[in-house]
Structure 1
Amino acid sequence: MDTATDEMNLKINITEDGPAARTLAITIPAEVVDERIEASYGNLQNQAQMRGFRKGKAPRHLLRKRFGQDVINETRGQLIMGAYQQAIQQNELRVVGDPDFPDELMEKPLEEGKEFSFEVSIEVAPEFDLPALENVAIKKPIFEIDESHVDNEMKQLAFRFGTPENIKKDFQPLDRLIGRASVDVEDHDGVFFETDKTLVVVPDVEDEGKGPVLGLLLEDLGERLEGAAIGSDIVFETVGPPAHERSELRDKKITINFHVTDCERITPLETETLVTTFGLEDEAMLRERLKLEIENRRDQEQRAAEREQVFEYLLDNTTLALPQKISEAQVARTIERQRMDLLYRGDNPEQVEKQLAEMRDQTQEQAINRLKLLFIMDKVARHFDIEVSDQEVNGRIAMMAQQRGERPDAVRTELQKTGGLQEVARQIMEHKAADRIVDQADVTEVPAADWNKEATEKAEKRKSGAGKKAASKKAAKKKTAKKAAKKTAGKAESKKKTTKKTK
């Protein structure tokens, strides 16, 4: 396919190397090369200060002699990036990840009077068809808020606003250990990562000893922390999840050396103090306020459950091939998107990190589905012409701040530092797109108990399926190893026999 852009009169040839892979062959005409080189010298002449000449008056031949190679290098870079951007825009290519330019491209000669050609490999968003978006079968879990829910919320609130106390040993569930950590990764020279402020929370009883450390889910965390005290050195060993957003950690042995420097235990506030903290008259008013907040969260959870079913429906009924070289940035986006979703639902930061660690520990198939969903929901949003306003982003930030008990400006500052504002906007876009499908779906109300049972069975089924695949893969690997060993042994025996014959 040959096209030409108006601005630079480029010649562009696009070759399809696969479902989502493209190679762009771009030729910049000689007259454009000359114009850009001349413009670069013109800019240099206006700015250069050379001995014996006033600013802007240095002769061109002296500039060429002294700065010629620098001008060529700078102009080459500008031409390449300018031509690449024009080629992408002209052909309306939705690029995924970073372009792959040849390593030697920046050494290729750029000469006046000659055209300049180069190639670049890219991956684009896959093309696919959406399934029917009307009358999707959706179940809506129904449950009523009772006093037990309020009691649990009171307990969590008392803990959140409790008084910290320094502890030196005999750690208990939910104690917060802080210390230095260094991470060593298989096949990586030197220390992979280190920090002086690592937080490790002793797993609660219901967590069955599992918990996250530096974003990695450890099955034996509780066991490793037994008998620890201030000054203890603890070694955690695990294997990087196959779906981790950092490729260098996937399936690699990871060793975390943790030195405990501090520990605090939270003493929950008494109910009376909690009431005073919120500026309310009595416990009844606090309980009523909490009940309203729980009901609001329940409504959010119901909507989230409906959206999850939309996501499952779209994944089950959409066929698309992911780009082969899907970037780590795309994988990280799925993690960050989940972080925003959990914070929006009102989970505290520690709960969020625990769930993200569990998410990283999921199967490769689940990770691929999360990536597919990024492309699917983007297309659904374009199908419905979904747009996100600044007002909506500010409203979502305010809601997240309220859930976390923080000021909106503090949450916004945090999101700006971590690049989370873009993910907030994307989350809103995806929610609006999914809600459009829910609003025209065939919705059936079901008791919350039935819904939870069904969700648990689905999770167990996925886990069981992943276990079988992993066992099968492991068995195949073992079989291959045995076969290789047998072959090697056979060769050794043959060599031995041959040696005897020679004698």
Structure 2
Amino acid sequence: MQVTETLNDGLKRGYEITVTAAELDAKVDEKLAEAQPEIEMKGFRKGKVPMALLKKQFGQRLLGEAMQEAVDEAMSEHFEKTGDRPALQPAVEMVDGENWKEGDDVKVNMTYEALPEIEEPDLSTIKLERMVVKPDEAAVTEALESLAENAQDFENRDEGAKAEDGDQVVVDFVGKVDGEPFEGGAAEDYPLVLGSGSFIPGFEEQLVGVKAGDELAVEVTFPEDYGAENLKGKPAVFDCTVKEVKAPKAAEIDDELAKKYGAEDLDALKAQISERLEAEYAGAARAVLKRGLLDKLDEVVKFDLPPSLVEAEAKQIAHQLWHEENPEVQDHNHGEVEPTDEHNRLAERRVRLGLLLAEIGRKAEVEVTDAEMTQAIMNQARQYPGQERQFFEFIQQNQEMQQQLRAPIFEDKVVDHVLEQADVAEKEVSKDDLQKAIEAMDEE
């Protein structure tokens, strides 16, 4: 077996691999010898069929398999010897394959882009600030008021008062299509919050301004995509009687409110809110810290990038941003989106940082555990209630999906490893300062 270099330009590599006819023949003989003990043939006992007869019978069939194995072995030996790690799966093409015949040597061209040599920076020289926000009384009170609003009740308005948007009206109604009542179109003492969007478009708006005791006919048209086939696009009239008009009233911030949210008393609820806010602030602060770290690494680390990785990343970025700008297009049946210079710059940053973090993680032996993967799958499965089992099975059979789940976990663990080596100082800031930092990060 012979390997000859044909290309060495930057990270691009090319080699011609030659497998001689004798080597192929020996590989076929080896495979036949492995199978011989289990082969039965008429006129011969099991395992006693002569090799010459086996070769005549099965040699042609095994030739392709032997050829593939020989080339694979040559590639593995090459990468082990050179230390090269291909950025993507190498391209392998048989030389003059159309004219090849049994008894000829096999020649293939292998081309690939090698991953660059990456010199890890001195992480201890990287200086960063971790923003720390302590939940204050005002933030806790704001959260309590929000909980009280969500737990709102309704109380009767003064007699003769008109219903406003956000009010609750208690109504009896009977819906009719073509003058005839339809199934599911009637109710008594129905509590409807105006502006909630829970009824057909146009229904709630016509109840704004009604008073208790009013009777009115609400005219609407069922949407074309309505669930009931017999009602799609049909005009309807609902005869309504307004029985009560109620204004929203926020719940009192007291022990009873706390119990509604599963806390023992108001103090316990405040403690829970404070813990939740602290966790939210810490998560936001980590995102800012991570961005700062990546910016620093991008500044101090430079190396050649595999063009194919940058090109693929730029195309993916351009495609994703195009869909964000054209949300009405749900499929991918559109023309090719050409990456801009900005897309290419962003792709170079992502590829550079991705390769750097991967190298740091490899050297530090960072691994994603089975437990971490299981937790990630469970988090994703919650998005498909009732189909969790099918989702688990789908992930188990899909290597690409597994990699998509594993990649962010690996990256975060490597980031944590780097932060442990870096010089990180804590700085207490206000909630507003943290919010500005997040907004500034989103604008970049």
- Shorter-chain-normalised TM-score: which range? 0.5 to 0.7
Residues 1:40 and 1:273: Cα distance change in structure 2 (over 3 Å): farther
Equivalent residue, structure 1, for 2:412: 431
Instruction: Compute the displacement of 1:79 (Å).
Output: 1.3
Q: What are the equivalent positions in structure 2 for 1:294-305 lying under 5 Å apart?
A: 294-305=277-288
> Shift in Å at residue 307 of structure 1?
1.6
1:212-227 correspondence runs (5 A): none
- Residue type of the alignment partner of 1:306: L
CA contact (8 A) 1:13 1:25 kept: yes
Distance in 2, matches of 1:171 and 1:393, equals: 49
Q: Which residue of 2 aligns with 1:488?
A: none
SS at match of 1:94: coil
- Deviations along 1:50-81, one digit per CA (max 9) or x if unpaired, are 45555444444444444333221121112112
Letter paired with 2:124: E
Sort the Cα spacing of 1:83 and 1:281 in 2 relative to 1 into closer, same or farther, 3 A.
same
Q: Check 1:117–1:365 CA distance in 2 against 1; reply closer, same or farther (3 A cut).
A: same
Q: Hey, what's the Cα distance between the residues in 1 that align with 2:95 and 2:151?
A: 60
Per the alignment, residue 441 of structure 1 pairs with: 423
In structure 2, which of residues 87, 92, 96 is the aligned counterpart of residue 96 of structure 1?
Answer: 87
2:25 is paired with a residue whose SS is helix
Task: Assess if the C-alpha contact under 8 Å between 1:11 and 1:28 holds in 2.
Answer: yes
| Aligned residue-pair number | 330
Residue in 1 aligned with 2:112?
122
Name the counterpart of 2:276.
293
Hey, what's the Cα distance between the residues in 1 that align with 2:200 and 2:347?
39
Mark the runs of 5 or more structure 2 residues left unpaired by the alignment: 153-195, 204-220, 227-249, 319-338
Q: Which amino acid aligns with 1:293?
A: R
- State the percentage of identical aligned residues: 18
- Cα distance, 1:292 vs structure 2: 2.2
Q: CA 1:128–1:422 in structure 2 vs 1: closer, same or farther (change >3 Å)?
A: same
Tell me the residue number matched to 2:304. 321
Q: Is the counterpart of residue 142 in structure 1 residue 132 in structure 2? A: yes
Q: CA RMSD in A?
A: 5.1
CA contact (8 A) 1:275 1:286 kept: yes
Q: CA deviation at 1:276?
A: 8.0
> Shift of residue 442 of structure 1?
4.8
Alpha-carbon offset, residue 404 of structure 1: 8.4
Which residue identity lines up with residue 449 of structure 1 in the other structure?
D
CA distance in 2, matches of 1:291, 1:441: 29
Structure 2: distance between partners of 1:116 and 1:141: 62
Pairing 1:249-268 to 2, within 5 Å after superposition? none
How far residue 291 of structure 1 moved from its aligned partner, in angstroms, is: 3.7
Deviations 1:98-143 (A, max 9, x none): 211116676574755x654322111221234444422323232232
Cα distance in 2 for residues equivalent to 1:46 and 1:292: 70
Describe the shift of the 1:458–1:307 C-alpha distance in structure 2 as closer, same or farther (beyond 3 A): closer
Matching residue's letter, 1:19:
G
Aligned to 1:393: 372
Q: Give 1:325 shift.
A: 2.0
In the superposition, relative to structure 1, how do residues 141 and 155 fare at CA in structure 2: closer, same or farther (>3 Å)?
farther
The structure 2 residue matched to 1:374, chosen from 341, 354, 357, is 354
Q: 1:170 aligns with which of 196, 201, 205?
A: 201
Residues 103 and 115 of structure 1, relative CA distance in 2, 3 Å threshold? closer
8 Å Cα contact 2:288-2:437 kept in structure 1: no
Structure 1 residues 129 and 458: CA distance shift in structure 2, 3 A: same
In structure 2, relative to structure 1, the CA distance for the partners of 1:277 and 1:81 (3 Å cut) is: farther
Equivalent in the alignment of 1:194:
none
Alpha-carbon contact 1:36-1:75 (below 8 Å) kept:
yes
Shift of 1:399: 9.7
What is the identity, as a one-letter code, of the residue corresponding to 1:135? T
Counterparts in 2 of 1:104-119, with a 5 A limit?
109=100, 111=102, 116-119=106-109
CA–CA distance in structure 2, aligned partners of residues 156 and 126 of structure 1: 55
Q: Quick check: 1:97–1:330 contact (8 Å CA) kept in 2?
A: no
Task: Tell me the SS of whatever aligns to 1:22.
Answer: strand
CA deviation vs aligned residue, 1:189-226 (integer Å, no higher than 9, x gap) = xxxxxxxxxxxxxxxxxxxxxxxxxxxxxxxxxxxxxx
- Indicate yes or no: 2:294 matched with 1:311: yes
SS in 1 for 2:9: coil
1:23 aligns with 2:14: yes
- Correspondence for 1:38: 29
Contact 1:101 1:121 in 2 (8 A): yes
Residues 355-374 of structure 1 mapped to structure 2, 5 A cutoff: 363-374=343-354
Distance 1:398 1:104 in 2: 44
Q: 1:308 to 1:402 in 2, by over 3 A?
A: farther
Alignment of 1:31-110 (within 5 A): 32-102=23-93, 109=100
* CA 1:273–1:371: 2 relative to 1, 3 Å: farther
Counterpart amino acid of 1:390? T
Please say if residues 388 and 429 of structure 1, whose CA atoms lie closer than 8 Å, have aligned partners that are also in contact.
yes
Deviates more, 1:23-32 or 1:274-283: 274-283
For structure 1, which runs of at least 5 residues remain unmatched after alignment? 1-9, 159-164, 173-226, 233-269, 336-359, 463-503
Output the CA distance in 1 between the equivalents of 2:368 and 2:90: 30
3-state DSSP of counterpart to 2:412 = helix
Q: Distance in 2 between matches of 1:292 and 1:332?
A: 42
d(CA) in 2 for partners of 1:56 and 1:273?
A: 84
Code of the residue aligned with 1:69 in structure 2: it is Q
